[in-house]
Amino acid sequence: MARKERKRRCFALLLILLLLVSACSADKGKQQDTDSETKTANCTLLIECSSVFEHWDELASEKQELIPEDGVMLSTQITFKEGDTVFDVFSQAVQQNKLHADSVVSSDSAYVRGIGNLYETDCGEFSGWMVYINGEMLMTDLASQPVSEGDEIAFRYVCDLIRYVSDFEEEAA
């Protein structure tokens, strides 16, 4: 009788172990399925400041040495996750490429003050960074604008912000 009891207990223990192992495997499989369900896509990101060449005398000499010969600070393709915003893609790109960026970020907004140590007002009172998606000036916040497959995002340093905004308003009218 003792032998039968021992066999039952062994069988019960084996059954419990099998159930535990199968439950752990199922959880791991669900996690892998969730990870693989996160869709990724690609976009391009350009950061350029070629407009400073037209306003070279307005740019401080210590800032002039920061400007690449062709005005392009970064041109890259970025893989992003579904739901990422322009600011998410920008942050990922500057971090991956070790490019200095200074942003003001709150819970629901983001504003880029400087990239590559080139800041707003460095090239005149109305200079700063403008953002374009597929050639169109971004008129919403960086942190709320989603990115789509194939988008072309450009951060362009402009030295006459008023001209760019008035040109945009004329095109919109």
**Alpha carbon distances (Å) from 2 to 6, 7, 9, 15, 87:** 6, 9, 11, 20, 70
**Higher per-residue confidence, 169 vs 25:** 169
User: pTM of the entire structure?
Assistant: 0.74
CA 8 to chain centre: 59
pLDDT bin (cut points 50, 70, 90) of residue 19 is very low
Phi-psi region of 85 (alpha: psi -120 to 50; beta: other; left: phi over 0): beta
* pLDDT for res 21: 46
Q: What three-state secondary structure class fits 115?
A: strand
Instruction: Write phi, then psi, for 40 (nearest 5 degrees).
Output: -120, 160
Q: What three-state secondary structure class fits 84?
A: coil
Determine how many CB atoms are found less than 10 A away from the CB of residue 124. 16
* pLDDT for res 57: 93
Q: How high is the mean pLDDT of the chain? A: 83
* pLDDT for res 7: 57
Beta 40-48 vs 152-158: how paired, if at all? parallel
